[in-house]
A = this chain, B = another copy of it.
Amino acid sequence: MAVYTDITDEELAGLLADFDLGQALSLKGVAEGVENSNFLLETETGRYFLTVYEKRTREEDLPFFLGLMRWVAGRGFASATPIADRQGEILKRVRGKPCAIVSFLSGLSVRRPTVAHCREAGAGLAALHLAAEGFGLSRANTLGQAAWAPMFRGLTKAADDLKPGLAAVIEGDLSRLAAQWPKGLPTGVIHADYFPDNVFFASGKFAGAIDFYFACNDALAYDVAIALNAWCFEPDGSFNVTSARALVGGYESLKPLSAAERAALPALAHGAAMRFFLTRLADWGATPQGALVKPKDPLEYERKLAVHRASHDLVLFDGPLA
């Protein structure tokens, strides 16, 4: 939940004066996205989202993110499309901060995905990977495998504070991931944050994805692995292989994985759990005690790490998938 920027009616009118969207009829700050301020904007011509980019989104990355959203929407993928002003600009400014107006995407996210949702989500992710093919810009994954060990250097005390002895276990994971990280897999543009709250459904069918602000270039199967962690764990911390095989099966219904990609998924999921564990651990330490907006619990991903530590070398995705 986040609305960091307050926009006055005059500032909004000034922004809209550059567009052919008519006058503003209503503006509501919405509790969506944790990095930026999001507003649901109603104008005389329809409904839109106005996103104001706060300091955690680097301004130099915005042409990549907004260009990607336009590119995949233009190729038929259901996602919010940035709207250009009369000069053709999509990256605008309000109250001194970068912002963009994007189209409104209907749909509901699910909090407790079923096996059927996992299958749909997998197919949606494949559709995104296919739609992103040919996009002309690229962006390195600043939170990829090479970044984890350096990130953890400042967090060893935080890890041991979270759970005594955890730092040594994480060091072991990091060494193993560095030594065994799958190489040479097909790469492309990945969403990199394909969590249930970023995916919309309508009548049980995939209806689109939002929040492209971690998108980057990396192994496509790594995006599948991020999704396995985000979608296929039960509330009790167990990994649901039925859901996982459904998600991969859904993905393969549109875009088959190679044998090497399938075999790499458990190791990639181990690494994906490390990436989210590390950022959550960093956010956990940085948030003041008693804050009303709680950071996400790093222990959730510590438990996922433990599951993948044990299954790193297992064969989970062989044969025909559900």
Contact = CB atoms under 8 A, between A and B. Distances in A.
A28 B40 contact: yes
A120 to B, nearest CB: 13
Nearest to A108: B9
Contacts of A57: none
Nearest to A113: B9
What's the interface size class on A, roughly?
Answer: 35 or more
A10 interface: yes
A203 B26 CA distance: 11
A27 interface: yes
Interface in A74-123: 106-112
Interface string A36-66: 0000101000000000000000000000000
Interface string A246-289: 00000000000000000000000000000000000000000111
Contacts of A203: 23
Interface string A19-40: 0000111111111100000001
A110 B30 CA distance: 18
A117 to B, nearest CB: 10
A8 interface: yes
Given A288-B289, A290-B288, A291-B291, A110 B28 contact: no
A225 interface: no
A310 interface: no
Given A30-B30, A31-B30, A25 B293 contact: no
A9 B110 contact: yes
Given A1-B1, A3-B31, A25 B290 contact: no
Nearest to A31: B29
Contact of A32 (B28, B32, B111): B28
Contact of A3 (B1, B6, B112): B1
Which residue of A28, A106, A111 has the most chain B CB atoms within 10 A of its CB atom? A28
Interface in A281-316: 287-293
30 contacts: A3-B31, A8-B110, A8-B111, A9-B108, A9-B109, A9-B110, A9-B201, A10-B112, A12-B108, A23-B203, A24-B108, A25-B107, A25-B108, A26-B106, A26-B107, A26-B108, A27-B108, A28-B30, A28-B40, A29-B31, A29-B32, A30-B31, A30-B40, A287-B292, A288-B291, A290-B291, A291-B291, A291-B292, A292-B292, A293-B293
